[in-house]
Amino acid sequence: MSNSNNFFNGSLSEDWWKSAVFYQIYPRSFCDSNNDGIGDLRGVINKLDHLNDGNGGGLGIDAIWLSPFFPSPQADFGYDVSDYCDIDSDYGTLDDFDKLVFEAHKRKIRVVLDLVLNHSSDQHDWFKESMVDRTNSKADWYVWANPKPNGEPPNNWLAVFGGAAWTYEPLREQYYLHNFLAEQPDLNWYNPEVREALAEVVRFWMSRGVDGFRLDTANYYAYDRQLRDNPKRPAGSHPLEDGQEANPLSGYITKYSKDRPENIEFIHFLRKIFDEKANFTSIGEIGSSEGLEETLKLGADYVRHGDGLHMAYTFAMLSKEMNAEYFGHVVGFTEQMIEDGWPCWSLSNHDCTRMVTRFNCFAEREGFQQMMLLLLLSLRGTPIIYYGEEVDMEEYPITKEELRDPQGIRFWPEIKGRDGCRLPFPWDSAAPNQGFNTGKKPWLPAKNSLSLDQAQAYPESSYHVIKEMLKIRKTNPALQKGKFRQILLEGDCFVFERKTKDQTLLIAANFSTENHSIKLPLKVEKDLTPGALKHSGSIKNERLSLPACGYFLGKV
Ligand code: GLC
Ligand code: CA
């Protein structure tokens, strides 16, 4: 049952991931099948039809990325893995996993797993052995270094989740490196035995039928072997990520602790293993706090020439700032940098404030959300929808008592952490816990204002807009693979073209709450804008009129 790719016979092209629409599931929060308060794999299986039932029903999603469900002490909710080749009992069993792959493939949904290869949990057997002395068989599997003569950590590197990136281990009388929590020791990628062990992990899941990986923190694998201090950030330059100013790490340029030139060689190593399986794909999380263009350049470096990542996941659209100029610049600059690489876009994930709340500077919240989603689905590049975007999930104002996320616990109240974007999916407004389970208190409160049943009953909801747009994508190849060309970027409006040999499409968006009218340099033959969209543009006498937060799609 596990190797169930034959469902794709005849339809699986080598670059299926370029035209696919991905959907990120945070399994802990999707659906709780056994009513223990925690979402699980059987819950995901129960809800696959919502994504795509294989017969034209459901949203029409082509691939799911599942955040980690491997055995874990849950210090960072699964991003601390204590066994790479099993399933945590919170989420189910390997049998459940095989069933999930089978049921997904049956519906033509590909399955992408989240591999956390930069670090393991401190409860992984590898680390438990590595920490006991300097001579054991795993002694060099993590990054160990001697204290400074005064006993301090080897250098000034700071952890993303607070404090030094080094923790002292008395048994070895040495420090170990952890770019995130102390419970997440960094693996030593320079050690070939480590690389081989991770390659075996990759092969394990490939042979169980998965179609790709999302690689967690894929630019952290390498570190400066001389362990040089990170330079201080010059005053006046700002980190890209929303709300990170309060984190002392943002006072440094992380030149030596990540983004090392050797990192790309480690990615080349992984790519060779990915290429052992036909039609496999990868999305590496490549985040940088060195400004927008640096981030985009860095991402592009990983995807050119077909020997690195298939796609780089960028933080560029996870910004707080969003307007036509910013959006147009991100897209234009990416196109300039990426050459033969393929972009990948998303507007939200499990680490950042929900889009509908983040962009709340606009009166037209729903309109803005729908316009952004439609733009996401119109760009050249693979779009990733974050679970709940179809029901306009908003950021939940978490209280101190409800906090679960270690980042929020550490930095409260300056940084409130990531719980607010990880709420249970609201399936049913009339059911206990909005249908997430049958009544046991969920690990985070089930409190979204809109539920799926309500969104489905309302013809102009984001649910219907997305669903319709995914159908339009399927029948209009230029939306999937067409070239991008900017037509106009003026004030609040952004207009571009997607073009294949046989088809030219025009896409326009208005990022403001005022109406705009634009003289178009191209003649639009047919309006293809989803009918469910309330804020749709229209053409009259070669002028396009775009209402507040308006979007337009037309055939040229
Ligand atoms: C990535 C994940 C995040 C996690 C971190 C450490 O950024 O998206 O959730 O906390 O890596 O693994
Ligand atoms: Ca459960």
Query: What ligand has the least distance to the C-alpha of 90?
Result: 2
The angle formed by the CA atoms of residues 221, 223 and 228, to the nearest 5 degrees, is: 165
CA atoms within 13 A on the CB side of 534: 15
Residue 2 confidence (pLDDT) above 50: no
Higher pLDDT, 69 or 356: 69
The pTM is what?
0.97
Q: From the candidates 36, 200, 275, 276, give the one annotated as an active-site residue.
A: 276
Q: What percent of the chain has pLDDT over 90?
A: 90
| Tokens standing for residue 432 | 């206990």
Contact in structure between 245 and 313 (CB atoms under 8 Å): no
Q: Identify the residue whose C-alpha is closest to ligand 1 atom 4.
A: 79
Instruction: Tell me the average pLDDT across 201-211.
Output: 98
Ligand 1 mutation target, pool 24, 82, 119, 217, most atoms within 8 A of CB: 217
Task: Pick the most confident of 179-193, 232-246, 287-301.
Answer: 179-193
What is the 180 CA–ligand 1 centroid distance (Å)? 8
pLDDT digits (tens, 9 = 90+) for 274-322: 999 999 999 999 998 788 999 999 999 999 999 999 999 999 999 988 9
Residue 91's beta-bridge partner residues?
none
How confident is the model at residue 9, as a pLDDT? 65
Q: Is 216 a catalytic residue?
A: yes
What is the 451 CA–ligand 2 centroid distance (Å)? 20
d(CA 285, CA 65): 13
Spell out a b/e string for 49-80, using b for 16 or more CB atoms within 10 Å of the CB, else e: ebbbbbeeebbbbbbbbbbbbbbbebbbbbbb
Residue 504's beta-bridge partner residues?
499
Q: Identify the residue whose C-alpha is closest to ligand 1 atom 12.
A: 79
How confident is the model at residue 157, as a pLDDT? 98
- Residue 50: CB partners within 8 Å, gap ≥ 6? 58, 59, 452
Grouping H, G, I as helix, E, B as strand and the rest as coil, residue 142 is: strand
* Range in 134-138, 286-290, 333-337 with the lowest mean pLDDT: 286-290
Instruction: Tell me the average pLDDT across 178-203.
Output: 98
Residue 1 confidence (pLDDT) above 50: no
Q: What percent of the chain has pLDDT over 70?
A: 97
DSSP letter string, 423-445: PPP---TTSGGGGTSSSSPPSS-
Query: What ligand has the least distance to the C-alpha of 41?
Result: 2
How confident is the model at residue 159, as a pLDDT? 97
* Range in 233-247, 284-298, 507-521 with the lowest mean pLDDT: 233-247
Instruction: Tell me the average pLDDT across 87-99.
Output: 98
Give the number of other Cβ atoms within 10 Å of residue 267's Cβ. 25
Residue 533 confidence (pLDDT) above 80: yes
Contact in structure between 174 and 145 (CB atoms under 8 Å): yes
How confident is the model at residue 139, as a pLDDT? 98
Contact in structure between 63 and 21 (CB atoms under 8 Å): yes
How confident is the model at residue 383, as a pLDDT? 98
Ligand 1: nearest atom to the Cα of 76:
10
Please work out whether the CB of residue 216 comes within 6 Å of at least one atom of ligand 1.
yes
What is the 437 CA–ligand 2 centroid distance (Å)? 8
Phi, then psi, of 84 in degrees rounded to 5: -75, -15
Please work out whether the CB of residue 4 comes within 6 Å of at least one atom of ligand 1.
no
The angle formed by the CA atoms of residues 358, 360 and 362, to the nearest 5 degrees, is: 140
Instruction: Tell me the average pLDDT across 354-379.
Output: 90
Please work out whether the CB of residue 386 comes within 6 Å of at least one atom of ligand 1.
no
SS3 sequence of 458-515: CCCCHHHHHHHHHHHHHHCHHHHHCEEEEEEEECCEEEEEEECCCCEEEEEEECCCCC
Please work out whether the CB of residue 351 comes within 6 Å of at least one atom of ligand 1.
yes
What is the 349 CA–ligand 1 centroid distance (Å)? 10
Amino acid at site 200:
E
Query: What ligand has the least distance to the C-alpha of 96?
Result: 2
Ligand 1: nearest atom to the Cα of 418:
9
Please work out whether the CB of residue 186 comes within 6 Å of at least one atom of ligand 1.
no
How confident is the model at residue 361, as a pLDDT? 66
d(CA 355, CA 349): 9
* Range in 61-65, 67-71, 110-114, 409-413 with the lowest mean pLDDT: 409-413
Sheet with 166-169, edge to edge strand ranges: 144-145, 174-177, 166-169
Ligand 1: nearest atom to the Cα of 179:
6
Q: From the candidates 216, 394, 395, 419, give the one annotated as an active-site residue.
A: 216
How confident is the model at residue 450, as a pLDDT? 96
How confident is the model at residue 13, as a pLDDT? 83
How confident is the model at residue 123, as a pLDDT? 98
pLDDT digits (tens, 9 = 90+) for 342-354: 999 999 999 999 9
How confident is the model at residue 245, as a pLDDT? 74
Ligand 1: nearest atom to the Cα of 116:
12
pLDDT digits (tens, 9 = 90+) for 435-459: 999 999 999 999 999 999 999 999 9
Q: Is 276 a catalytic residue?
A: yes
Higher pLDDT, 420 or 241: 420
- Residue 117: CB partners within 8 Å, gap ≥ 6? 187, 198, 201, 215, 216, 218, 221, 270
d(CA 375, CA 367): 12
Using pLDDT thresholds of 50, 70 and 90, give the confidence band for residue 239: low
**Considering the chain, what is the average pLDDT of its residues?**
95
Higher pLDDT, 10 or 423: 423
pLDDT digits (tens, 9 = 90+) for 104-132: 999 999 999 999 999 999 999 999 999 99
Tokens 């607070």 belong to 162
What is the 455 CA–ligand 2 centroid distance (Å)? 25
Q: Identify the residue whose C-alpha is closest to ligand 1 atom 2.
A: 216
Spell out a b/e string for 103-122, using b for 16 or more CB atoms within 10 Å of the CB, else e: bbbebbbbbbbbbbbbbbbb
CA 223 to chain centroid = 23
Ligand 1: nearest atom to the Cα of 119:
12
**If phi over 0 gives left and psi between -120 and 50 gives alpha, with beta otherwise, what is residue 417?**
left
Query: What ligand has the least distance to the C-alpha of 30?
Result: 2
